[in-house]
Structure 1
Amino acid sequence: MIRNALGSLLGLIGATAAVWSPFRAWYDGRHGRDYRIEELFSSAGITEDKAALLGSLLLPFLFAALLALVAIVLRSRLLMAFSGVVVLGFAVLWMVRQGQAAGSLSVGGDGAGLGDGVANAFGAGALLILAAAVMSGRPRRRDRVAREPVPEPGSYPEPYPERGQRGPSSEPPYPEPVEDPAHPPAPSAWPPPPKDHS
């Protein structure tokens, strides 16, 4: 329970950081929401064209945040880890395409080079994967069966009641056998026991 709560908290922080990262500077002061998502997969690469909000890097990060929320509700470690992989995957893919467009990537303290939006994205992905590792997930079926209470030894009903007695249910007692004079029982194939002459 505590692990799921802690993992859910880390997942919420990671999802928030992932959605917030496109609104920060990614490279040379250009925000992540300005990069078109199709430029990451096209042969032209990254251009100076400005993207629509839902056609930018915000789209995959929104998807990852929704996956994280579903993972929290379902207590799914797999979905939580997958959301972190989505964030890290698109951040790495952007770095590759940006490096191809710029020739090289640089880090500068005056707003040039890589910005804090990239750091937010990588931090968000790491938090989501950490949340998946912390969560205990849903209990397995074997664990649920093991936690079921075992009945007391005296609480089991008698499976076979004695002849002529009523069982735990309302069924009538077993009838006594009745001998039919017209059809006597067949003689036993076994010899009678020896008599005791002592």
Structure 2
Amino acid sequence: MIRNVAGSVLALAGATAAVWSPFRAWYDGRHGRDYAIDELFTGITDDRAELLGSILLPFLFAALVTLLGVVLRSRLLVAAAGVVVLGFTVLWMVRVGQAEGSLTIGGDGTGLGDGVANAFGGGILLLLGALVMSGRSRPPHHRDRPPPPTHPTLDGPPPDDPSLLEGPRRHPQASTPYAATQTFDVPTPDPEREDPPPRS
């Protein structure tokens, strides 16, 4: 439970940083929302993109996937959102590097801006959140108990044996029930009868 809460907090923080990053400077003071999503596949231009057609679009998609993963406690969905954020950020860096010839980092508004750092940080937080989350808990596995025996055992007849409620059993051709014990007549020798003498 604690791991899911901590992972969800990290994932939501990463998604927030990723969505906020296009509104920050990405390169030479140009914001990420100014880069069209199709320029990541065709090449960077100086044209300004529309908001929903900019690099913000994949980050919004990643945020929605993150929310779904947090609700479902799915580590796979949260990790997929992190891969989307990092993948588009790296793709943007490759395209800008091809357009500019090289990438520079500057603190006076030139080179890579803090928007790229926010995007990278958001993607890493999403992956960390997926690692921290424990996922959905599985119910304990109970082994199926064997069915009760249908014949008497050494411990006695099964508790649901209907014969216990029928009283003493009767033989089909007998008029009296079986007795608890049976006696047998054993012949005894007659003392008046003498045994014949043995033959010599």
Q: Same fold (TM over 0.5)?
A: yes
1:45-84 alignment runs, 5 A limit: 45-84=43-82
Q: Which residue number corresponds to residue 2 of structure 1?
A: 2
Give structure 1 regions of 4+ aligned residues with deviation exceeding 6 angstroms. none
Question: Does residue 11 in structure 1 map to residue 11 in structure 2?
Answer: yes
Where in structure 2 are the equivalents of 1:30-109 lying within 5 Å?
Answer: 30-42=30-42, 45-109=43-107
Q: 1:6 to 1:30 in 2, by over 3 A?
A: same
1:176 lines up with 2:169 in the alignment: yes
Does 2:126 correspond to 1:128? yes
Is there any run of 5+ residues in structure 1 with no aligned partner, and where?
Answer: 151-157, 167-172, 182-194
2:58 alignment partner AA: P
Q: Distance in 2 between matches of 1:16 and 1:26?
A: 17
SS in 1 for 2:26: strand
Give the deviation of 1:111 after TM superposition.
0.3
Q: Which has the larger radius of gyration?
A: 2
* Superposition RMSD in Å: 2.4
Equivalent-residue separation in structure 2 for 1:33 and 1:4 (angstroms): 32
Number of aligned positions between the proteins: 164
Alpha-carbon offset, residue 38 of structure 1 = 0.4
For normalisation by structure 1, the TM-score amounts to 0.76
Q: Which residue of 2 aligns with 1:191?
A: none
Question: Structure 2: how far apart are the matches of 1:124 and 1:102?
Answer: 25
Deviation at 1:68, TM superposition (A): 0.5
Q: Which residue number in structure 1 is paired with residue 154 of structure 2?
A: none
Give the secondary structure class of the aligned counterpart of 1:26: strand
Gaps of 5+ in 2: 146-156, 175-185, 189-200
Asked if 1:164 is matched to 2:163, the reply is yes
- Counterpart CA distance in 2 for 1:19 and 1:103 is 28
Identity level (%)? 66
- Structure 2 CA distance, aligned partners of 1:24 and 1:126? 18
Q: Deviations over 1:86-111 (max 9, x none)?
A: 00000000000000000000001110
TM-score, length-scaled by structure 2: 0.76
CA gap 1:147/1:52 in 2 versus in 1, 3 angstroms: farther
Query: Residues 13-48 of structure 1: CA distance to partner in whole angstroms, max 9, x if unpaired?
Result: 111001000000000000000000001112xx0000
